[in-house]
Amino acid sequence: MKLQELTKPWAAFNYGFLDESAKRELRRRILKAIAIPGCQVPYASREVPMARGWGTGGLQVTLTLLKPASVVKVIDQGADDSVNASSIRKFFGRVGGVVETEDTGKATIVQSRHRIPEEKLREDQVLVLQVPNPEPLRPVQPDISIARDMHGDADYGQLWLVLYEQLVKSGRIMQGAEYPSLVNGRYVITPSPIPRWDVPKLNQADHLTILSAGREKRLYAVPPYTKVEPLVFDDVPYRVEDHHDKTCYRSNVTGYFVNELPQEDGSSAYELSDSHFGIKHIRKAEGEPVEIGDTWYKNGRMTDDRA
Amino acid sequence: MAYVATRGGEHAIEQAERLFRSDLGTITRDRVETVRDNFPYLVDRLMGEASLYEPDLAALALAQAGGDLYEAVLLLRAYRTTQPRIAIAEPVTQPDLFTVRRVSAAFKDIPGGQILGPTLDYSHRLLQVHVLMGEDYTPEPVIPAAEPAPATQPSLTDWQKAQGLIADHPVETVSPEKIPDLTREPLLFPAPRAHKLQSLARADTGGTLALGYSTMRGYGDVHPTVNELRLGEAPVRLRHPRGTVFSAGRVRVSQAEIISKSKSLELGFSATFGWNEVKVIAAAALDLASTRPDAHPASTEEFVLYHTEPVESSGFCIHFKLPHYVTFQSALDAIRDAKANGNAATAATGAKKLPTKEQEVAL
């Protein structure tokens, strides 16, 4: 046996950028996170060639999941062509040799910042959400050590109190994105800052969701077919954003989450937030053979209520 | 097909990067060497924050980032993290250091002597504007001391311990591969001593100074005295598989001990790669302050270690440039609704509205 047979030729970087020991650590943490739904699992969080706060947590998870046969979609605020999404997608192509896609249905891994696509994800797809702040208790307890104890005790009273105060002061719950949600009846998570519109898509979903915060060095997961309940009072139902009647001015589609575009005349125009979903509708309207997947929302209402 | 054409993002980011790089021009080996040779203290600071001792790579990172320190730290850290750890060096004790500068503010003279070494501490900070008019600024020649200082120096703390002034904590023996490594494990609290010192060693100089200064100035119970400050070169000694210990070279290091003057004498400690006196003094002060039962954030381990991390803090700061319109939209919806309900409620109950500013003025 020659030494050469035992070694690999030198390369500037490993496949998928991260070295194997980093990937091994992440795989173990991901497995733990899946085993304890919603529980924040600390990990070393290596530096990656992107600034912290720019999706480095999601990036590390996706890099660990990558294989040459992977098909990756990256979205930022719902858009595939957003500058940072382009940059991250290009990086996966560069270090993983993967196929890049914008089509939700064709992706094996969807990495996203702040949105879950409108089309339903399947069992064979993984959703990786970039998380800026993994700690739902941060607004009431900035000290991580104490917050960890509170999670241990399932001591979430102060979160209810925050919602109650909003209700009393403003007449309604004011929580926008990152709506605190109870996973599997045990851990409260902040579902990354996805809008309230997207939170029900995590409940009893067919797909696995991994949420990862690189800067804060924590990851957690919502496994398939797991209960995810936004914190609500019995007599005050959960309310998603009032977007059920908004029509996209480009695709003419109604009933999905939209971006509001202020107009010079003082009015607002709306466009679909899920950009490729909009593109598909436009192409279909133009007579192209486009396959649009099943959606969670129909006619502006969540129809897939599995709870 | 207007929607489809919105692939401008990719073109835009590519051109934006090109613009930045074309402003900097070609990076050559000469240029990197010029940076390395001309800015040793900048290179040192960077190597400390990156926790990677390699002057050539640090100079390359500086050249590539056009001198943006946070970018340069990130470049080096992202490179460092992919490299395997092939060996763990033998521990370095104070008497092992090839010391070029060593001062103590606690005593007039100390065993081994005060050694000023290279410093600007007592210089007059005058900008040599004549250089810009074509007159070279050539340093005066150094007159060597009659008797050269010894290359290594004893530890002052050893003397203090022998005197019973400072508690002699038992030394924990940990096998090299069992030493907690911050770059391979998450930081949890209460942090192991090793993680705390590693975190301070690679902390942001400016951030460490800001928090350290706040404890020195009064937000904390510590009245620091520099027990010993050292600049030197540490031998990197490795153990050969056959058992022989050999030197693989030297690295420039700084270390500071800060001593408190309260009821009992306590030490705070910090060490880092490169010569960076401000950082180790501030970090040692923070180390000392964080042992106190003091509620002030700058005296709290978690607060200090999280907020002095240069890659994390700078990254998060600049991430606010990214679009946040989805989260904004999500909040907007609730605000509008609450406002509409509030107005409706006011109209319904006929509740008295607060006077407007104009009405107030009229009153």
On whether both B233 and B110 belong to a single domain, the answer is: yes
Q: How many domains does chain B have?
A: 2
Contact in structure between A283 and A290 (CB atoms under 8 Å): yes
What is the band of B5 on the pLDDT scale with cuts at 50, 70, 90?
Answer: very low
B218 or B259, higher pLDDT: B259
On whether both B192 and B227 belong to a single domain, the answer is: yes
For residue B10, the chain A residues in CB contact (below 8 A) are: 81, 83, 86, 90
Question: Chain A: nearest CA to B18, how far in angstroms?
Answer: 14
On whether both B228 and B98 belong to a single domain, the answer is: yes
What is the band of B281 on the pLDDT scale with cuts at 50, 70, 90?
Answer: very high
> Which single residue is written with the structure tokens 């804060």?
A216
On whether both B233 and B112 belong to a single domain, the answer is: yes
Element (H, E) at A72: strand A71-76
ipTM: 0.84
> Is the Cβ pair B314, A78 closer than 8 Å?
no
* pLDDT at residue A305 in the model: 66
For residue A14, the chain B residues in CB contact (below 8 A) are: 82
A-B interface: how many C-beta pairs under 8 angstroms? 167
Question: Chain B: nearest CA to A261, how far in angstroms?
Answer: 10
* pLDDT at residue B294 in the model: 60
The answer as to whether B322 is a domain residue is no
Interface mutation vs chain B, best among A52, A64, A261, A280, most B CBs within 10 Å:
A52
What is the band of B357 on the pLDDT scale with cuts at 50, 70, 90?
Answer: low
Query: Residue A81: which of B1, B10, B302 has the nearest Cβ?
Result: B10
DSSP string, B142-194: P---SSPPPSS---HHHHHHHTTSB--PPPPP--GGGS--TTTS---SSPPHH
The pairing of beta strand A181-183 with beta strand A228-230: antiparallel
On whether both B159 and B198 belong to a single domain, the answer is: yes
On whether both B70 and B114 belong to a single domain, the answer is: no
> Is the Cβ pair A83, B342 closer than 8 Å?
no
> Is the Cβ pair B337, A242 closer than 8 Å?
yes
Contact in structure between B109 and A80 (CB atoms under 8 Å): no
The yes-or-no verdict on residue B78 having pLDDT over 70 is: yes
For residue B74, the chain A residues in CB contact (below 8 A) are: 47, 49, 51
Q: What is the mean pLDDT of residues B55-74?
A: 97
Q: Where is the domain boundary, B51, B80, B109?
A: B80
Question: Chain B: nearest CA to A114, how far in angstroms?
Answer: 7
Residue of chain A whose alpha carbon sits nearest to that of B320: A53
The answer as to whether B331 is a domain residue is no
On whether both B223 and B302 belong to a single domain, the answer is: yes
**Residues of the domain holding B215:** 94-119+149-170+180-316
Q: Give dist(CA B130, CA B136) in Å, integer.
A: 8
Element (H, E) at A219: strand A218-222
On whether both B225 and B110 belong to a single domain, the answer is: yes
> Is the Cβ pair B9, A77 closer than 8 Å?
no
Residue of chain B whose alpha carbon sits nearest to that of A84: B322
* pLDDT at residue B6 in the model: 42
- Bridge partners of B213, per DSSP, are none
Superfamily of domain A20-135+180-227: Bacterial phosphonate metabolism protein PhnH (3.40.50.11310)
Question: Chain A: nearest CA to B190, how far in angstroms?
Answer: 8
What is the band of B361 on the pLDDT scale with cuts at 50, 70, 90?
Answer: low
Using alpha carbons, select from A292, A301, A300, A307 the residue that is nearest to residue A120: A292
Using alpha carbons, select from A42, A53, A48 the residue that is nearest to residue B77: A48
The residues, ordered by sequence, that sit 6+ positions from B268 with a Cβ below 8 Å of its Cβ are B222, B224, B257, B258, B259, B260, B284, B285, B286, B287, B288, B289, B291
> Is the Cβ pair B322, A54 closer than 8 Å?
yes
Q: How far is CA B95 from CA B151, B250, B283, in A?
A: 9, 15, 22
On whether both B73 and B198 belong to a single domain, the answer is: no
The answer as to whether B100 is a domain residue is yes
On whether both B106 and B251 belong to a single domain, the answer is: yes
Question: Chain A: nearest CA to B310, how far in angstroms?
Answer: 10
> Is the Cβ pair B2, A81 closer than 8 Å?
no
Q: Give dist(CA A87, CA A50) in Å, integer.
A: 9
Mean pLDDT of chain B: 89
Residue ranges in chain A whose pLDDT is less than 50: none
Domain ranges of chain A: 20-135+180-227, 137-177
Tens digits of per-residue pLDDT, A234-247? 999 999 999 999 99
Question: Each residue of A248-263: b (16+ CB within 10 Å) or e?
Answer: bebbebbbbbbbbeee
On whether both B38 and B68 belong to a single domain, the answer is: yes
A271 DSSP assignment: E
On whether both B72 and B115 belong to a single domain, the answer is: no
Q: Where is the domain boundary, B58, B80, B102?
A: B80
For residue A196, the chain B residues in CB contact (below 8 A) are: 330
The answer as to whether B137 is a domain residue is no
The answer as to whether B127 is a domain residue is no
